[in-house]
Structure 1
């Protein structure tokens, strides 16, 4: 089989390296492994963005028919990522701030940052502005489960909280206590930091 890009059933274009059997095996040479880890990191994040996936678990490497099958396995070359290698990749991604283990103090399940928390803060504020939500109190649920799908639909609570906290620091949001817990009011505010 030649090393060439491949388009998955979901329309995601896999890089040619995905057709190389060694790509699915942890490499003994540290320099080679660093390059492979970077390639896996970019692949995981771009695929997550393509599929609007926010979480990954070490067990996804072994789950047949799961959300991550298209990239964590390659049936054309009879290869799949094993759980220990995926765990290693996720730990490296956490070190480079590309994900956060959620819940904290474990390394099995993670929330992916295919957008940085700062980028999510901008998306959140732009959404609030474009939908006329400035100076309106919204619950967190209304943001992540809006009646009309938005770029924030389904975003994990941990990402939403980080984005809101960044907006609070730039005077573009404030937390408000509401009957069902917490809410947020978006403000025009300054974007200077």
Structure 2
């Protein structure tokens, strides 16, 4: 089989390295493994962005039929990423601040930063500004589950809190306790 990009059923284009059998095994040579890990990291983050996935678990490499099958398995070459290799990759991503363990104090599940908290902060602020909601109080639910789909729809609360934290440091937002739970007020000016 020739090494060439492949488009999945969801329309995602897998890089040609995804057709290279050793890509799916942990490499003994540290430099080679670092390169493989870097390719897997880019692949995981770009696929997560494509499908709007926020979480990946080590068990996703074990069980077929999940959101990650298109990249964790390659039926064309009869390969799949072993859970131990995925765990190694996720640990590397956490160490480089490209993901975070969620829930904390475990290593089997991570939240992915296919946008950094700083990028989410700018996306959030731009959306609030363009929708005319500066200087109003919004609940977290207003932001992550609005009646009309937005770039923030479905955003995990952990990432939302981090994005708000970024905005707080620049005096563009303030967290507020409200009867409906948690809320935030956004201020004008950059």
- Asked if these proteins are the same fold (TM beyond 0.5), I'd say yes
Deviation of the 1:177 alpha carbon: 1.5
The corresponding residue for 1:44 is: 44
Structure 1 segment 27-176 matched on structure 2, within 5 A: 27-176=27-176
Give CA-to-partner distance per residue, 1:37-72, whole Å, 9 cap, x none. 000000000000000000000000012110000000
CA distance in 2, matches of 1:159, 1:123: 12
User: What's the counterpart of residue 18 of structure 2?
Assistant: 18
Alignment correspondent of 1:9: 9
How far 1:176 sits from its partner (Å)?
Answer: 1.4
Query: What is the CA deviation profile of residues 96-154 of structure 1, one whole-angstrom value per residue up to 9, with x for unaligned ones?
Result: 11000011111101000000000000000000001111011110011000111000000
Contact 1:117–1:159 under 8 Å retained in 2: yes
Query: Partner of 1:84: helix, strand, or coil?
Result: helix
- 1:180 Cα deviation after fit: 1.6
With the length of structure 1 as denominator, give the TM-score of the two structures: 0.97
Q: Secondary structure at the match of 2:138?
A: strand
Name stretches of at least 5 consecutive residues in structure 2 with no aligned partner. none
State the Cα distance separating 1:189 from its structure 2 match.
3.3
RMSD of Structure 2 on Structure 1 (CA): 0.6
Shift of 1:6: 0.1
SS of the counterpart of 2:88?
helix
Give the Cα separation in 2 of the matches to 1:115 and 1:109. 18
Structure 1 runs (4+) deviating above 2 angstroms are none
Tell me, yes or no, if the aligned pair for 1:170 and 1:189 is still in contact at 8 Å.
no
**1:138, 1:183 within 8 Å by CA — same for their partners in 2?**
yes
The answer to whether structure 1 residue 189 and structure 2 residue 166 are counterparts is no
In structure 1, runs of 5+ residues without a counterpart are: none
- SS of match in other structure, 1:185: strand
Taking the aligned partners of 1:148 and 1:189, their CA distance within structure 2 comes to 26
Q: 2:135 & 2:188 partners in 1: Cα distance?
A: 8
Instruction: Answer whether contact 1:144 1:153 (CA < 8 A) is retained.
Output: yes
